[in-house]
Amino acid sequence: MSVVLSTDAVPDQDKVAYWSDALGRALVPVTVTPRAGRPFGGRIVTDRLGCLRISRMEADAKRVTRTPALIGRSPGNEVAVGLQLAGTATFVQDGRRAELGIGDLVLYDTARPFSVSYPERFATHVFQVPRHVLGVSDSDIRLVTGTAIGTGSGFGAVLRPFLATLAASAPSYAPEAAQRLAGHVVDLFATLIADQAHREPDGSRDHLVRSVRAHIDRHLGEASLSPESIARAHHMSVRYLHRLFEGEGITVSRLVQQRRLEACGRELARRGRLTPTVSAVARRWGFVNPAHFSRAFRAAYGISPREWRALHLEQGTGGRAHG
């Protein structure tokens, strides 16, 4: 049965407070700020199809904000997809700003702060699913949030008419059909996230590879540096990180080891009054196990770290490791 919440019978002075409460019940708790000097009213109709919650909303101009304080009091656990039906909207999350027109989609995470500004009266459909049923990584979700997804072509063009029809007919489905439809929507949303997260605009791949390489060089001395930590720092999945490096001729793990060995080689070859031990140099550049370091160094340069140091000291140069 549909749940209908409307400001129609609410006194003008209470409409904003009522609407804020209505959004908290139908979607998630938010702060509502209407446009100054304008009348305000709104109507939201919500239905449930299994794990899927569908809300059909129409309201006057306003700004909606989900703050860290509201999240602390009422943590969200859902991922939502909005379909703009009338009017325009500006959606902001994770440092990205999406300008939405009629027919555009936007995906957002209720567990993190966001804001939406509607400069005029608008209508939208919102589809919410628990994030754990999607089976996609948080990093992939973060790559998609706050981005306008057009529906003129591609996967968006397939998704838009299905979602519009589903929202319009939501109250008519029997429980078993509703469960099946919810499962299909979950699959479609997971596909949407994967499609958008792994899409590579011109030049984006090269930029990401350069960013990852720079990150590795900055954090070489940290023993915790790994594909997992690198992917987390760049808000991407480990699988996508490995995919980025498929054309680089080296894996991420091998690159980390190579750069560490080069740093160790340079330091061991450097002449000076103070000469740190081989194990101290290894630790400084992220090698926890001295035996592993020695084996890796010999495999790369054909001699042991001590032999490398002795060779460069005998030559009287500040030589450089090449690999």
Alpha carbon distance 98, 104 (integer Å): 10
Give the pLDDT band of residue 248 (cuts 50, 70, 90).
confident
Determine the average pLDDT of the residues in 230-242.
85
Strand ranges inside the chain, DSSP E: 3-6, 31-34, 42-49, 52-59, 62-66, 78-86, 89-93, 96-100, 105-109, 114-118, 122-130, 148-149
Q: Domains (ranges, CATH) in the chain?
A: 3-197 (2.60.120.10), 204-315 (1.10.10.60)
Strand-pairing partners, residue 43, are 6, 58
Give the pLDDT band of residue 88 (cuts 50, 70, 90).
very high
Give the pLDDT band of residue 316 (cuts 50, 70, 90).
low
At 167-225, the pLDDT tens digits run: 999 999 999 999 999 999 999 999 999 888 876 554 566 778 888 999 999 999 999 99
Whether the pLDDT of residue 251 is over 80: the answer is yes
Residue 321: predicted pLDDT: 45
Residue 90: predicted pLDDT: 95
* Segment holding 71, helix H or strand E: helix 68-73
Determine the average pLDDT of the residues in 75-87.
94
Measured in residues, the chain has a length of 323
Mean per-residue pLDDT of the chain: 90
| Token digits of residue 88 | 């325009």
Alpha carbon distance 269, 319 (integer Å): 6
User: Which amino acid, 175?
Assistant: P
Characterize the bridge pairing of strands 31-34 and 42-49: unpaired
Q: Supply the DSSP symbol for 35.
A: P
Residue 176: predicted pLDDT: 93
Residue 202: predicted pLDDT: 45
Alpha carbon distance 80, 52 (integer Å): 10
Whether the pLDDT of residue 8 is over 50: the answer is yes
